[in-house]
Each structure stands twice: as structure tokens, then as C-alpha cells.
Amino acid sequence: MQNKIHFNIFEKQKALKEELLLKIKKERLEIGYYGLPEQSIDEVLAFVETFDLKIDTIVVLGIGGSSLGSKAIYEFLKPVKNLKRKLLFFESTDPLNIKEILSQIEIEKSHFLVISKSGTTVETISIFKYLYAQQQDVSSYTFITDRESALDNFAKKIDAKVFYLPKDVGGRFSVLSVVGLLPLALCGVDITALLQGSSRVQESFFNDGYIKETLLNKAIFYAKYHTTYSINCLFAYTETLRYFSEWYVQIWGESLGKKQNDSAFHVGLTPIGLIGPKDQHSFLQLIVEGTRDKSVTFIKINDFENELEVPDVTLPFLEKLDILNGLTFHDLITMQSDSVIEALLEQRDIPLDEIIIERVDEESMGQLIYYYELLTSLVGQLINVNTYNQPGVESGKIILKEKLKNNRKKLNHKK
Amino acid sequence: MQNKIHFNIFEKQKALKEELLLKIKKERLEIGYYGLPEQSIDEVLAFVETFDLKIDTIVVLGIGGSSLGSKAIYEFLKPVKNLKRKLLFFESTDPLNIKEILSQIEIEKSHFLVISKSGTTVETISIFKYLYAQQQDVSSYTFITDRESALDNFAKKIDAKVFYLPKDVGGRFSVLSVVGLLPLALCGVDITALLQGSSRVQESFFNDGYIKETLLNKAIFYAKYHTTYSINCLFAYTETLRYFSEWYVQIWGESLGKKQNDSAFHVGLTPIGLIGPKDQHSFLQLIVEGTRDKSVTFIKINDFENELEVPDVTLPFLEKLDILNGLTFHDLITMQSDSVIEALLEQRDIPLDEIIIERVDEESMGQLIYYYELLTSLVGQLINVNTYNQPGVESGKIILKEKLKNNRKKLNHKK
């Protein structure tokens, strides 16, 4: 991958960079995601190898960190790879959504991956109960959870296969662990290449490669101006990255939206995922003429599907658009993104950068994921937050539990 | 629909409200969308009545205002209504996306609606050329454009059916015109009920009904604090509103992100669409603990699919989650949204409101659309922008045309 930065970088902030690197290297000893590119994937590969061939659909029961990563990668690769199984997700308690997914599933040909780090995620367990009431064959389920969670104990009780999240890997940083690797490998995704991609970025960052200075410069800029440019748009010129946007929104928003360490000061950077050229006709006006509170990162794909082209047809009254004739759609979409980038650069006060990924494959995706994980960690250090927790969502969970208990009491009372 | 506002409203700003109302009533005489609930839909209904029964798929070629509205409504209704035709959208020049949609289409059973207000939208015409090279049967196409546009002249030349956008209706405010009504009616959506819903909100607003004070109060709050709460999250607790979010993002971002009238000051409000409960596991942390720059509007559905329930199953080690047993998923998702609302209210400095729509039907959607159109117009007046133009996207278009021309010269040179 390449990353061209069009805003002022901080070449000279040597001391700051040294200090930041030291902190990240220390974090690397404690936080599990950094080491995922080196993990052993033998257990996953062995499981896939002996997996029941009559199963044609893998169904993930998971929400947030348990689903967004594998969905991002699966949907990225689906249009170009001949994947061997379908991957579906139950990630809502919306009854209409549950019904719609049920209508796409043949239970006998499906295998269910129940994924919950804590083991007690309300959405995941409620849907699991619904499915389990209909299909009690234990061979239809595999569980991924923390060791010794309630779900682990349940799975062992019914003699189901369980995989464990590695130590110190949070949900939103878990895509390169078994949480993402197992569903993807079952669908035929080359998880070795995925991890190799991550490994390349990891090595480049920690061993003075090209990405080190780039990431440090970008993180320092984002952190220094985090109250000015508080919104970070990811503008991808390919529909295949639509779900990657959702993964990005989670990792960026949930990691950096915090009270600062040792203070009660609210900080945060707001992630927005955009898809071009569609969002040229929607969000772009706000970027060009709206408040100067946004940075924009464009993502383009270098080596793309290149067959489809605008035919050499002249239409009466539309002759002006003959400039499109003979152009491949790949060249057209590239010109569209370049034109928008040029137009935004003319404004001179919108911080821009471009990420160019080589092609739609596992290796490129592995790079992109690890790049964004590192960037998140770097910015988190600089704006002085705990990047890896999410205390803000607890009070809603507690209120829900109270409501559920009270409801239960009412029901029992009626009986 | 109901709208409960939980932030401080401005009961006493009588003069400001009067003035604002006067301005909007004046605007109503000039801007076309206000009157769409009263339009005649006879031509659309007659067209649908005599439409070829062997066609099972309607394909829209359109982008931005030409696609987002009908997609929002179609995807909202699809899970509950027995719609009689499939609706697909070509809204990108991404070749992988074009290929994917092509794979879902049987050309002989499809009818193509080519929608472009200006008549020269690059994305739409390039895809039209691609399709037209393969299928030249004029009865396969219907065009929607401005009268006398190049596309209108072309359509007349090939003797195709053309519908016209009503005067003074901009793309992003066109969903209740033929742009949205034609594709939806062809799929069996009750467009009469849709317009009745809009009409109810229109009447309530202009004839001193309940929604008038609510909308005025909300608009005044958003405008007064537009530099403080510059991000407006729409948090819908139903997957069916996912594409409504995209429509909202366009109308809000593109209408309000502007240089102010008579100044070069950049203003704007940034729209974000969220879906619950999924985004409780992603964006919520940023709302609760991040920078205080966000307001949140929750949308809930009152009368929902109510059959599906969590079965009364006790799982060993997961007994604590028996509080879910016997609960319908509808009640569960409602409790989830209520819990998040209560948790956010505890923070006391996050402006919240709740919109409750009656059910998943055309009437409710018509209300919601007109509500948001009015809110956009009101806020636009207050923050002193031209709500209905989009000058910021022009320079990118000009640069693209230059690139295309240069490319064309190069190609000709090679020949």
C-alpha cells in the first residue's frame, strides 16, 4: 500500500516521535492485537480441513467486534474471489432483520458460529436461544469466547467445539484473531495471506520502514488538531469497502471517544465512512463548503477489474458525453476520485491524504486493517485516552438489565 | 408520528418564530417540494396500470437525489409488504458493483428508469450507454429528467416515454415527485398513502398543528447551537431505516453545508446515520464519553412485527440470561433503545429527542420524509444559507471534464 499525505507534516518533531514510539513499543508488550500477525493458525486450518462439506452457509451470531471485521473482509473479497461458502450475520435484535436472515438459511446446510467475548452479550444469546430451540444438534455450533466465560462453560457442557480469544485482545481489535479468521477461513478466504499483509505493515512500522514515518506524521497531525479537525472522513472509491467503513467507524469512534486519562475532559474523533462516487452527490458539498472540521482520507484501488468499458456509442443530443467513450469504468472512477482530490486541494484548508491499495485481495486487506489499528493506537496515546476500553456503554447495559428483571417480575406475577 | 424533545426549548421566542414562519411561507411559493403532497399522480398511476406484466424488475439508473429517496422507501417497506417487483439501482461507476448488479438482472424481464435532472450526469449516462449498447428496444426504457435537457431531447428522438421533474424541485428534495413515485409505484408501493402521510405533516405544520411548535423549537435549537452541536446523529432502532439514513445524510449535509449568504463563512451541520442496537457496540461510546458536539435523534417504531420471541429455554451456566425468556424481540429492541436513551439523559449535556413512527408503512414514511424536509428548510433559513443549491461540487465536475477531454485527445492522437 502507498499513503500520500497532502497536509503539513512534522518532520522535525524527533523527540515527540521517539517518545511516542517508546510508548507504543511498551503497549505492544501488553496489548494482544499487535502480535496477531505472528500467531499460529494451525488449529483454525485443521478445523477447516475436516469441516463438513455439506455445509454451504456459515452464520455468525455476533455484534460489534464479533461481526464487523469478518463482514468487512468477506464483503470486500466477495465480488472478485470465488468463495466456497456464504457468510451471513445475525447482528441485530430487530425482528424484521432476524426474519429476513432466517429466510436465507437452510438450517441443515448451515453452521453457526456463536461469538461473544464476554459470553453474555444480550443480542447474541437471545438469537442463539431462538436457534437452539429449533436445532439442538451440537455439531451445528461452534463457539468463540473468553476462556471460562459462562458461554464457554455452557459450550463445554453440551460438548461443543470452542475456540478462545487470545489474551488481551479487545473485541474491536479482534478481527485478525480466531474471531475473524475462523468464519473467513471456512468461506475459503486465504487467512495466511491476510496475516502476511498485516505482518508487512507491522514490520515496516516497527523496523523503520516506509510506513513508520507516515503513520507517525499522520497520527501527530490528527492528535495536534483533534479539536479543530474533529471529524475524519474515509472516502473509499469502491463499493467493496462499504463494510470496511463500518469496521473503521467502530475502531476509531469507540477507541478514541473517551474521557481523557487523569481528567474528566471529553475528547474524541468522529469517524465517517463515505463511498465514491456516490457520496460526491451527497456528502461532498458539506466537505467543500461546510465548517472546516473535517479531514479526508481517500482510498483507491490500483489494480482493479478492467474489462468493463463505456461503449463507443454516440447518442443524439448527448454528443458532449462522447468524452466517456472507450473509457474503462476503472479509469473513469479513478479520474473521478482524482478530480475530487484536486478540487479539495484547491481549497487549501482541508487536510487530505490518499491510501492506494494494490488490489482486491487478502494481502491488501491485511495491510489496511493493521494500518488502521496502529493509527488508532498512536492517536490514542497522543490524545491521552485509554484506547482499549469502552466504559461509556456500561450504564445503558445496567439500565437494560434492570428493565429486563422488572419485566420478568411482572410476568411471574401474572402467572 | 410523535416527537418528544428532551432538550431546552424556546417557548418564548415568539417574534423569532413568527419571522421564521413568514420566511418559510414565502419560500413555499418558490420552492417546489413544499407542494408535492398536492400534485396530481394520475399520469404515474395510468402508466403503472398499463405496464408490461412480464417485467419483474425495475432498474433505476440514477445517483444521489435520483436514487437515495426511492431506495430508502423501497428498503423500508420490503421486509413487510408483498411488493410486486424487485427494485435495483445502478448508482456507481465502480466496475465490480456494476458487474454485481448486472448478474442480478435478466434484461428481457427488466425495465430501466434513467433518472437525471440535468440530463448529463456522468455516472448515469455512462451506465446507460453500456446498457443501451446491449438492449436497444426503446420500450425497455423510461426517462425522468428536466424538460428540454439533452436527455429529454435524446429520449424524444428515440420515441421513448419521458416524465419531467416538476419545476423548482431540486434533486435531493425530489423523492415525493415522479423521481421517487414512478419506481415505487411500479413495485406496488401505495404512493397515495405515501403522499397522504406527507400531507398530514404539511397541514399540521402550516395550520398550527402539533408538529409546528415541535419543528420550530427543534430547528431553533439546532441553529442556535450549530457551532456547538455540529453533528446530528439519527439513531434508528430498526434495520429497515438503513437507507433512510443515507437519504437523511444527503438532504442534511448537502443542504446545510454551505458558505453563509452574504459572507464567506463556512457553516454546516454534519449528519450521521446510526442503527440500533448494532451501533450501541460501535458509535455509542463516542456519544457518551466523547466531545460534546453531537445531538441525537432516536427513531423507534411503535407497532412492529411482534411474533418472534426469545423461547423459554434455560441454558446451563447462562441462567442469568433467563430474564430474556418469553420476551418478543420487538419488546427487547424497544427496551434496548429506551435504556440507551435513559443512559444518555443521565449525562445531561447531550441534546436528545425521540421520533416514534406508528408502523412500517407508506403513510409513516411519507410523514418522516416531509418532517425532515421541513426541518432542513427551517434550519437553513436560520443559519442563513441557500438550502437548495450545491455550488461546492462544481469544481470537481469541471476538473473531471478536463481530464476526460484530455484523455480523449490522447486516444485520438494514438489513432
CB B398 within 8 A of CB B274: no
| Main-chain phi, psi angles of B314, to 5 degrees | -100, 125
pLDDT of residue A414: 74
3-state secondary structure at position B273: strand
Identity of residue A195 = L
Choose among A80, A3, A84, A83: nearest CA to A303: A80
Which of the four pLDDT bands, split at 50, 70 and 90, describes residue A410? Answer: confident
Identity of residue B298 = F
Q: Return the number of other C-beta atoms located less than 10 Å from residue B192's C-beta.
A: 15
What percent of chain A lies above the pLDDT cut of 70?
A: 100
pLDDT of residue B367: 98
A79 to chain B: which residues are within 8 Å by CB? 96-97, 99-100
- Predicted ipTM > 0.95: yes
pLDDT of residue A415: 65
DSSP B65-94: GGTHHHHHHHHHHTTTS--SSEEEEE----
Q: What is the mean pLDDT of residues A56-71?
A: 98
Over its length of 415 residues, how does chain B's per-residue pLDDT go in tens digits?
A: 999 999 988 777 899 999 999 999 999 999 999 999 999 999 999 999 999 999 999 999 999 999 999 999 999 999 999 999 999 999 999 999 999 999 999 999 999 999 999 999 999 999 999 999 999 999 999 999 999 999 999 999 999 999 999 999 999 999 999 999 999 999 999 999 999 999 999 999 999 999 999 999 999 999 999 999 999 999 999 999 999 999 999 999 999 999 999 888 999 999 999 999 999 999 999 999 999 999 999 999 998 777 899 999 999 999 999 999 999 999 999 999 999 999 999 999 999 999 999 999 999 999 999 999 999 999 999 999 999 999 999 999 999 999 999 998 888 887 6
Alpha helices in A78-121 (DSSP H): 95-103
For residue A278 the three cell numbers come to 456516490
Mean pLDDT of chain A: 96
Q: Which residue of B93, B119, B268 is in closest CB contact with A277?
A: B93
Digit-coded pLDDT (tens) for A280-291: 999 999 999 999
What percent of chain A lies above the pLDDT cut of 90?
A: 94
For residue A313 the three cell numbers come to 456509442
A360 to chain B: which residues are within 8 Å by CB? 96
Choose among B57, B49, B52, B108: nearest CA to B84: B57
Residues of A numbered 215-244 whose beta carbons fall under 8 angstroms of chain B's beta carbons: which are they? 227, 230-231, 237-240
Chain A nearest-CA distance from B209, in A, is 32
CB B393 within 8 A of CB A288: yes
* Region A35-189: CATH code: 3.40.50.10490
**CA torsion, points A246, A249, A251, A252, in degrees to nearest 10?**
160
Identity of residue B236 = A
Residues of B numbered 274-333 whose beta carbons fall under 8 angstroms of chain A's beta carbons: which are they? 275, 277-278, 280-294, 304-308, 310-311, 313, 315-318, 320-333
CA atoms within 13 A on the CB side of A362: 21
Q: Annotated catalytic, A397?
A: yes
The catalytic position among A91, A254, A354, A362 is A254
Q: Is pLDDT of A307 > 90? A: no
- Residue from A77, A162, A291 whose CB has the most chain B CBs within 10 Å, to mutate: A291
pLDDT of residue A8: 85
Q: Which residue of B308, B343, B396 is in closest CB contact with A395?
A: B343
SS (H, E, C) chain A: CEEEECCCCCCCCHHHHHHHHHHHHHHHHHCHHHHHHHCCCHHHHHHHHCCCCCCCEEEEECCHHHCHHHHHHHHHHCCCCCCCCEEEEECCCCHHHHHHHHHCCCHHHEEEEEEECCCCCHHHHHHHHHHHHHCCCHHHEEEEECCCCHHHHHHHHCCCEEEECCCCCCHHHCCCCHHHHHHHHHCCCCHHHHHHHHHHHHHHHHCCCHHHHHHHHHHHHHHHCCCCCCEEEEEECCHHHHHHHHHHHHHHHHHHCEECCCCCCEECCEEEEEECCHHHHCCHHHHHHCCCCEEEEEEEEEECCCCCECCCCCCCCCHHHHHHCCCEHHHHHHHHHHHHHHHHHHHCCCCEEEEEEEECCHHHHHHHHHHHHHHHHHHHHHCCCCCCCCHHHHHHHHHHHHHHHHHHHHHHHHC
Strands B57-61 and B86-90: parallel
The catalytic position among B99, B167, B281, B414 is B281
Q: Annotated catalytic, A394?
A: no
Digit-coded pLDDT (tens) for A80-123: 999 999 999 999 999 999 999 999 999 999 999 999 999 999 99
Q: Which residue of B317, B324, B408 is in closest CB contact with A129?
A: B324
Overall residue count recorded for chain A in this entry: 415
3-state secondary structure at position B254: helix
Chain A nearest-CA distance from B106, in A, is 18
Q: What is the pTM of this model?
A: 0.97
Digit-coded pLDDT (tens) for A174-188: 999 999 999 999 999
Identity of residue B320 = K
CB contact under 8 A, A272 and B270: yes
Q: Is pLDDT of A78 > 90? A: yes
pLDDT of residue A12: 78
Choose among B29, B339, B12, B36: nearest CA to B173: B36
List residues bridging with A59 in a β-sheet: A88, A112
What fold does the segment set A2-28+193-391 form as a domain? Rossmann fold (3.40.50)
Give dist(CA A46, CA B30) in Å, integer: 69
Q: Is pLDDT of A304 > 90? A: no
Q: Which residue of B230, B291, B323 is in closest CB contact with A404?
A: B323
Q: Is pLDDT of A34 > 80? A: yes
pLDDT of residue B415: 65
Residues of chain A with CATH 3.40.50.10490: 2-28+193-391, 35-189
pLDDT of residue A11: 73
SS (H, E, C) A124-187: HHHHHHHHHHHCCCHHHEEEEECCCCHHHHHHHHCCCEEEECCCCCCHHHCCCCHHHHHHHHHC
Q: DSSP secondary-structure letter at A280?
A: G
Q: Is pLDDT of A411 > 90? A: no
